[in-house]
Chain A
Amino acid sequence: MEMKRMSSASFLSKYWLLLFTVGVILAFGAISPEFLSLTNLTNILSGAGIHGVMAIGLTCIFATGELDFSAGSQVSLACCLIAVLISKTSMNNYFLGILIVVAAMIGIGCYNSFLHVKIGIPAFIATLGSNYIFGGLAKAATNSQNIYNLSMASEVFTFLGQGYLFGVIPMPLVVLVIVAAVILFYTEYIRAGKYLYSVGSNPKACEYVGIDARSQKLMAFVISTVCCGLAGILEGSQMNQASPTYGANMFVPALTAVFLGATFGRIGVFNVPGTIVGAILYAVVNRGLLMITSELWLKYWIQGSMLLAALIIVVLIKKKDGN
């Protein structure tokens, strides 16, 4: 009996984020019934998909204990790059464009990890510098302006962001599921992927057992930048335009999703399922508040206090478990 109660309590503490998300959805549904309409829910998932893809990338780099400050400008750069490739050059093959952007993102990931791993600059300082450089390049590509109406140049441009699979499932969600499945498989079922977490939790021990922390960090940087690149492509496609400021606005939501995610499942560990739940919760709250009130300050207050409350709860749970 005692044991069963313990386990239900620990179940609650592990999965409360999901329950909370469901509770928030129902609460918004009670306040305004349109919230629960199919179109609205798919819109939410479509938005969550884009932030989620970026956040999953960040989860990998955070798992190694490093911080990538340049994630926002990577999103901007990818978004601007594909827009310029499609609209300003003679090339109008969208899929070739995606390939080029992904290749560029891999290069950027290598550059970041070169600074950190090879030269030895702490990651957050190195990426702070690259944040300026990538942001500048994104502005240079578009000449600090927005590029509008990209579907004119290539008809398939808006498919990834606005399209639906089988007429119901939004494409960003499909991309999110694919990316999440790949990363989850990599980090949970492949030994090389598990090393990402071991490097983050105890670099010294990794050194003793012969895990090369540097190659793990290279991998994490590349995964993170490629995910950010995909998020940038999706965002451009959904908005049907490109702007060098998109990334900066997505950085904080993605960070929030990642940190909320660390309070789900394996508490205190950045993990992919948690990140997805975090991204959905963020999108739900964002959308719900937008439907209920137009007061921006209220939105900020609720978002901020929700995150703070979540963190405090988790810390208290951990403390209780520890004692």
Chain B
Amino acid sequence: MFRREYLAPKSVKTRVASSFLLVALLVIAAAFQCMQPKFLTLNNVMNLLGTSSIIGILALGNMILMAAGEMSFAIGAQCTMCGAIFGRFLFSAESNNMLLALLLTTAVSAAVGLLLALCTVKIGVPTFVCTLAVATIMDGCSQLINSGTTLYSSDWPKNFQIMNVRVGGVVPVAFIVFAALALLVHIIYEKTSFGRHLFSVGSNPTAADNCGISVPWMRVTAFVLSSVFMGFGGMVAASYNNSVSLTMGSELMLPAIAATVLSATFMQIGKYNVPGVVISAILMIVIQNGVISAGYPIYVKDIVQGILLTVAVAMIAIIKEDGLPTVKLES
């Protein structure tokens, strides 16, 4: 079905709609540049890219899950908890092995993914509410690990802030990590049979099952993979901010979901895709940073982001009949 769409010449309307996100990014960035001449300096652009990589990594993980037709409410809690575990492990001067901390946090996040998969795929609890419950438990864990406040230690190893380091004094490491992960996910998602199976499970589970794809297995993999990404996002955020606050993840959750949803309006309409995730993650941060640096009150950011999201998806919904993938709510 998608093969045919690629070959068929795209109509003008579709072309315009599918590049809306990029145009919006350029227009909005230019507008902020007019209001605040320092907006597009190299330093600030790199700052933007660095900040957007946290949302971007979370959105990549969320994309894997949403591509498989599931939706998680636990993104934020997972991100906070993994950041907290990472920070707590390195808390004292004696334990300063970053690699070990990375492995431990990744293992924990994979275990969370397995737990979610056990509850939803094996037992059959509806995903949305199951992730809600697990998110509450994980919030408790973060509270416990953080002792109820923002986690910070002066004994953290020097490399703790590695994500904030600029390679060659220009590009923040966080963005390089994000770009590498994005490339990896892009290749897996678009070029391998695994990625195609993932997409087919999400778009039509019955057909996928009839084709001999193991739907439960794909869902389990999606849960574990996306959880690992959330864990990674948490670690990058902890390192980038040089602290772990209790609301770190919950503030990032809605932008991450929004970035995933927006990605389905870019280039390949109706299919979540990695280039779309990258562009929308940057777009969300450009709006946030631009509104603040131009001196507007913060609510302008919310309204602009909301209008942008609505307009982008409305355009797609009007052009295409079955334009956007949806999530069915079960009880």
Contact = CB atoms under 8 A, between A and B. Distances in A.
Contact of A122 (B126, B148, B324): B324
Contacts of A311: 119, 125-126, 129-130, 133
Contact of A308 (B124, B134, B139): B134
B292 interface: no
Interface string A168-190: 00000000000000000000000
Interface in A274-323: 296-301, 303-305, 307-308, 311-312, 315-316, 319
Contacts of A319: 124
B254 interface: yes
A252 B143 contact: no
Interface residues of A, number: 51
B87 to A, nearest CB: 16
A132 B302 contact: yes
B331 A270 contact: yes
Interface string A124-145: 1110111111111101100110
Interface string B100-137: 00000000000000000001000111101110111111
Given A296-B143, A300-B139, A140 B299 contact: yes
Given A115-B314, A296-B143, A308-B134, A140 B327 contact: no
Interface in B281-331: 297-303, 305-307, 309-310, 313-314, 317-318, 321, 323-329, 331
A255 B126 CA distance: 13
A65 interface: yes
Contacts of A259: 126, 129, 132, 331
Say whether chain A's binding surface is mostly helix, strand, loop, or mixed. Answer: helix
Contact of B140 (A65, A297, A308): A297
A56 B307 CA distance: 28
B331 A262 contact: yes
Interface string B153-195: 0000000000000000000000000000000000000000000
Given A311-B129, A315-B125, A133 B310 contact: yes
Given A132-B302, A297-B141, A67 B327 contact: yes
B137 A308 contact: yes
Tier of interface size on chain B: 35 or more
B278 interface: no
Given A122-B326, A129-B313, A300 B331 contact: no
A112 B244 CA distance: 36
B34 interface: no
Interface in B249-298: 254, 257-258, 261, 297-298
B306 A304 contact: no
Given A66-B329, A132-B305, A308 B133 contact: yes
A97 interface: no
A243 interface: no
Given A129-B309, A132-B305, A297-B144, A304 B298 contact: no
The 5 closest A-B pairs by CB, nearest first: A132-B306, A300-B140, A136-B302, A304-B136, A304-B137
Interface of A: 62, 65-67, 115, 119-126, 128-137, 139-140, 143-144, 252, 255-256, 259, 262, 268-270, 296-301, 303-305, 307-308, 311-312, 315-316, 319
27 contacts: A62-B331, A67-B128, A115-B310, A119-B318, A120-B323, A122-B326, A125-B261, A125-B309, A129-B307, A129-B309, A129-B313, A132-B306, A133-B306, A136-B299, A139-B299, A252-B132, A252-B136, A262-B331, A269-B331, A296-B148, A300-B140, A301-B141, A304-B133, A305-B133, A308-B137, A311-B125, A311-B133
